[in-house]
Structure 1
């Protein structure tokens, strides 16, 4: 989901930009840039994820004036790259949507926050929870982090976007509930399926590509 028109007030735009920059700085600090420069496989994963997301986000459906829905894919990318690097891959993909005219450059920070950063942070939180629980079965990583993590991340992102639009006065809260929020569970299902399938495939055939996977934990 993304905002395809200028829907925020000036005050909201500034607050969103501040949050965007704050999270961007934290993401940059979490990335091991030297490892990225030296690891060709990681570079391929990073740029490949950015390209795939960029093309994936071209396929979308409009549900409201200025609003569109699409598969995020950020949960799988976060499990592949880690949350910090996933944020930068997502932002590169978002630049592609701006260049192709799918989204306005003025909404880059807002869309980056909703489409990229929130899903990456929610996925990171779920992965930390899964590690803290110390599950010994690798299906916990696939289902909790991949399938359910993706569904939860899109739900949180959708709720955040609705709050932003309601606070800006663009839509009444009742409109958002009737025409968007009640369908949110339907958006969660394909998001969870797509991300879960990708993570499952990688875990079976290329587990080394999942930088967040500690194979020694599982039996």
Structure 2
């Protein structure tokens, strides 16, 4: 998200660190490690997605510190791997971004929470909602989980960052609305398009790579 050192007070870093640790522990507990070890394809997807995200996150447009713009791509990864493995893949990608100097190591937990965990959990929630509604048309998975899910994920991450910047007094509300929030819909559209296109391509050509896709439900 284009954060810089000393942008947030210590108490906020502590709170974000605790939330980060809580989500990470939950992801560890919900991961089938035996399944991951026995599936080379899943391992390739996890590490391949990390490299792809790490490369994608190098491309960004800077506004103000904490308000940079880039494609997240977490929705497609979450639908491929499930949210726990998507979190690990995203954090590996964030390590790449830190190593290349685009994000500070001191804000790894904040970046991990906003850039990786919030989008993954929002996508997972929308996927669970789509599954609960029991839609029988596979376009529902593509539209709600892929296109809409990606837009909601990046919007949630953006709003979360704005609230943190506002509540800690880094920027006033007028600055945040004028320089970021009013442009947020413009970020949502390309995020939805990119992730939705990737999910559509995988569903058509390699549906077995989408671990969250229940093909049997759409064949009935």
Q: TM-score, normalised by structure 2?
A: 0.97
Partner of 2:108: 108
**Separation in 2, partners of 1:210, 1:112:** 23
Please, which moves more after superposition, 88-97 or 26-35?
Answer: 26-35
Greater strand proportion: 1
- Counterpart Cα distance in 2 of 1:147 and 1:120: 14
Structure 1 gap ranges (5+): none
Conservation of the 8 A alpha-carbon contact between 2:151 and 2:191 = yes
Determine the C-alpha separation between the residues in 2 that align with 1:5 and 1:186: 28
Equivalent residue, structure 2, for 1:143: 143
Say if 2:9 and 2:168, in contact at 8 Å, map to a contact too.
Answer: yes
The offset of 1:5, in angstroms, is: 3.9
| Contact kept? 1:5, 1:107, Cα under 8 Å | yes
1:77 is matched with 77
CA RMSD of aligned residues (A): 0.9
The number of aligned residues is 219
SS in 1 for 2:25: helix
- Structure 2 vs 1, CA of residues 48 and 11 (structure 1 numbering), >3 Å: closer, same or farther? same
8 Å CA contact 2:56, 2:71 repeated in 1: yes
1:47-71 Cα shifts (integer Å, max 9, x gaps): 1000000000011110113532110
- Residue ranges of structure 2 left out of the alignment (5+ in a row): none
CA deviation profile, 1:113-157 (whole Å, cap 9, x unmatched): 010000000000000000000000000000000000000010011
Runs (4+) off by over 3 Å: none
2:158 is matched with 158
Preserved CA contact (<8 Å) 2:2 2:102: no
